[in-house]
A and B are shown apart, each in its own frame.
Chain A
């Protein structure tokens, strides 16, 4: 127990240890210590560290700096809302619905890839969506329309859905041989994100409905979940980014203070 207490007592600032360390060790050797005594030493050393002037001088500016960096990042990166629709390509035979049919096309199948390439290369349709919803007003002042369309394309994501999600999205009777994916659009306005995702989903379906049959004689393309209205921003909100900056600043300050405090020593004011 005394060995643990000695180890714990090393948490005290070095300046304090230089003055009182031996006395404290002497006292701990004389006394039969309990677990509560070790916690008492730990707690007192921690309080002394946290209230020392040099500690506050290091941690406080780091915390303020971290919060400022976090807040600046939050200011310049607006919250993004993601709207998603779920689309299923299936090999269901509508003429014989109970007949199992092998679909045999995964996300890397060149025929599937071709569907998306066609969708993404339709710049004219995407440009009309940008204009219809008045998307990216600031960027449209500074960038060419093709650059704005490219920016919009970067906000579109195609996410293959797992089997579990497929089962949730579709009726239980859905055949297992299918390829399901989410078509996602990210935008700072949640309502616009939903409206644009609806347009993109329509575009994808109308462009590829006929082509689906090239995948399979009875291939079907269906929207199983209409575009969602996102309630929360994707990733961290502005407040969370600022808070993360603050926490990171404090953590950096603590590391610096712990390293620097043990080398330079800490003011005896810490004991106040």
Chain B
């Protein structure tokens, strides 16, 4: 659940954000404090895969947006995660 790429994609699912806003948002909704290096490592990977893209002109506080491919990927990942969570909960209840 602490995979930085899923956290960044989930944060951007709400709307465009720059690095600082992503860090704050992720800390709020996931309780995970991403370091600046980890965050930008994830941003680099996600941009190269075409799952996120810079929005607006280049800036020191560059906002990023979730692409349609990124949105599909996030949806698939969340379905997988949901299945794992449900299975785990069911097994815990039956144990």
Binding site for B on A (CB under 8 A): 5, 16, 20, 22-28, 30-31, 33, 36-37, 39-45, 47-48, 268-269, 271-272
Question: Residues of A contacting B72 with CB < 8 Å?
Answer: none
- The reply to whether the CB of B50 lies closer than 8 angstroms to some CB of chain A is no
State whether A20 and B44 are in contact (beta carbons under 8 Å apart), knowing that A40-B37, A41-B36, A44-B35 are contacts in the complex: yes
**Are A31 and B48 in contact, with the CB atoms below 8 A?**
no
Q: Is the CB of A48 within 8 A of B41?
A: yes
Given A268-B48, A271-B48, A30 and B20 touching (CB < 8 A)? yes
> Are A44 and B48 in contact, with the CB atoms below 8 A?
no
- The answer for the CA separation of A127 and B44 in the assembled complex, in Å, is 73
Chain A contact surface mostly: helix
- Classify chain B: how many residues form its interface, as a range: 10 to 19
Q: Is the CB of A27 within 8 A of B39?
A: yes
Q: Give the residue among A20, A27, A47, A48 with the most B Cβ atoms within 10 A.
A: A27
Point out the residues of chain A lying under 8 angstroms from B48, CB to CB.
268-269, 271-272
Q: How far is the CA of A47 from the CA of B38 in the complex (A)?
A: 11
20 cross-chain CB contacts under 8 A: A20-B43, A20-B44, A23-B19, A24-B40, A26-B19, A26-B61, A27-B19, A27-B39, A28-B36, A30-B20, A33-B36, A37-B35, A37-B36, A39-B35, A40-B35, A41-B36, A41-B37, A45-B37, A268-B44, A271-B45
On chain B, the residues within 8 Å of A20 by CB distance are: 40, 43-44
Q: Report A-chain residues with C-beta under 8 Å of the C-beta of B90.
A: none
Task: Pick from A23, A26, A44: contact of B37, CB below 8 A.
Answer: A44
User: B14-58: which have CB < 8 Å to A?
Assistant: 18-20, 23, 35-41, 43-45, 48
The 8 closest A-B pairs by CB, nearest first: A40-B35, A44-B37, A26-B60, A271-B44, A41-B37, A27-B19, A40-B37, A30-B20
Chain B residues in contact with chain A, CB under 8 A? 18-20, 23, 35-41, 43-45, 48, 60-62
Q: Report Cα–Cα, A269/B19, bound state, in Å.
A: 21
Q: Do A43 and B37 contact each other (CB < 8 Å), given the known contacts A23-B19, A27-B20, A268-B48?
A: yes
B44 near A22 with CB under 8 A, answer no
A27 B36 Cβ-Cβ under 8 A: yes
Instruction: Supply 18 further A-B pairs (C-beta < 8 A) apart from A26-B20, A41-B36.
Output: A5-B36, A20-B44, A22-B60, A23-B19, A23-B62, A24-B19, A27-B19, A27-B36, A27-B39, A30-B61, A31-B23, A40-B35, A40-B37, A43-B37, A44-B35, A44-B37, A271-B41, A271-B45
Contacts of A48 in B (CB 8 A): 41
Contacts A30-B20, A31-B20, A31-B23; A24 near B44 (Cβ below 8 A): no
Is A41's CB under 8 angstroms from B19's CB? no
**B36, B37, B38 — which one has the most chain A CB atoms within 10 A of its CB?**
B37
For residue B39, give the distance in angstroms from its CB to the closest CB of chain A.
7
Residues of B within 8 A of A268 (CB): 44, 48
